[in-house]
Structure 1
C-alpha cells in the first residue's frame, strides 16, 4: 500500500461537512418570516427586533461552526 489513510482527518472533515449541512438546513428551515411571526404568538411578547436577531443567529450558525472547529484540538 503506497498511500496512508488518515482516519482522524477523514472523520474531522466528514464532521465539518455534516455540521455545515445542518447549519444550512437551519438557515433554510428555522428562520421566521414577518408573516410567521404575526401568526405565531410566541413573538408577541418579545422586544422589537427579536425576530431579526433570532434569524441572524440561525443564519450565522456556519460562522459559529467554523470558530468551534478552529478552536477544537
Structure 2
C-alpha cells in the first residue's frame, strides 16, 4: 500500500475549505430583513446586498480556483 501524504493533506485542506465556504453561505448571507436592520447597508448602492450574497455563496468556486492555481 502506497501512502501519499501530500495528496491526503491537500484533499483534507480542500474538504475543510469547502466546509468553511458552505458555512459562510449558510451563516453570512444577508436577508432583506437583516439588511433593513443593519445600518451598514444604508449607505450602499442598490443591489449591494445581492452582490454581497453572491460573493459569499461563490466562495466554493473561488476556493477551487485558488487550489488549482496553487498546484
Indicate the RMSD between aligned Cα atoms, in angstroms: 0.4
TM-score (norm 2): 0.98
Deviation at 1:4, TM superposition (A): 1.2
Structure 1 outlier segments of 4+, above 3 Å: none
**Larger radius of gyration, structure 1 or 2?**
1
- What does the per-residue CA deviation read over 1:11-66, in whole Å, with 9 as the maximum and x for residues that have no partner? 00000000000000000000000000000111000000000000000000000000
Where structure 1 has 5 or more consecutive residues not aligned to the other structure, the ranges are none
TM-score (norm 1): 0.96
